Amino acid sequence: MKIYLVSGLGGDHKILEKLKFPEDLEVVNIPWLIPKQSEPFPDYVARMAENIDDKEPFYLLGYSFGGIIVQEIHKLKPADKVVILGSIKSHTEKSIFLKTGEVTKITHFFPKQLFTEKSTEIYAYFRKLLDPKNPKIFNYFTVRDPYYLKWSVEKVADWKSVENPDVIQVMADKDMVFPIKNSKPDYVIKNGTHLFPATKYKEVSLVLQKIFS
C-alpha cells in the first residue's frame, strides 16, 4: 500500500526522510506546487490531490501545513488512514496569533517582500518559532518562492474545518507553532519542538509503526 506524504510549509522531503515506516508501505512524497495567482484554496488542494492514485487503498500523512492539506485531500479522495504531525485537526486549535490572523485578515496585508530570503525579520521570527537552538533549520525548507510562502501563511490563518475524529494527531510538547495546549493529540513526543519529525525521528518512527501495523 502507498502512503502519500506532504511536508511542512516551504519544506521538501528532508524533514521527513529519517522516519521509518513498516516495510510493506511504499512512501510517495507529494511536492509543493506554486499557487496560481489568486488561486482558491480548494482548487490548489485538488491539484495536489492529482498526485494520488485512489483506485487502490492508500494512507495520507502530513506535517504542519501539510497536515492541513492532507485533511483537505481526504475530503476529495478518502484515505484508509490520515495522520498529521505537528498540525491541527480544526480551526479551533489555532494559536492566538493564527486566530488573530483569521479574524483580522492581517496576513493578507503582509508584503510579499517580507517572505524573501533577505528578510532577516521573518527569518528570526520563524527560527524562534520552529527551533531556536537549531542552526540548520532552513536546510529543511527549500521551497522559498515569496508568493507561495505568503499565500500559504494566509491559508493557514484562514483555514476553517470541523474536526474529523478519525484523523490521528501526533504533536510535540514544546511546539510553539501549534501549541499542544490547544489540542488533544493521540500521541505526544516529549521534549520536541515543531521540528520533531527530524529531531525526534526515532520516537516518531515508533509511533508510526504502531499506527500502521
Q: Count the domains in the chain.
A: 1
* Complete DSSP assignment for 39-58: --HHHHHHHHHTT--TTS-E
- Give the range of the structural domain holding residue 82, as residue numbers without chain letter: 2-212
Q: Using pLDDT thresholds of 50, 70 and 90, give the confidence band for residue 137.
A: low
Q: Which of 200, 165, 203, 205 lies closest to 186, judged by CA?
A: 165
Higher pLDDT, 132 or 82: 82
The per-residue pLDDT for range 67-88, each reduced to its tens digit, is 999 999 999 999 999 999 999 9
Residue 14 main-chain phi, psi, to 5 deg: -55, -40
Alpha-carbon distance 48 to 99, whole Å?
Answer: 26
Average pLDDT over residues 153-180: 92
CATH number of domain containing 194: 3.40.50.1820
Where is average pLDDT lowest: 17-26, 31-40, 52-61?
Answer: 31-40
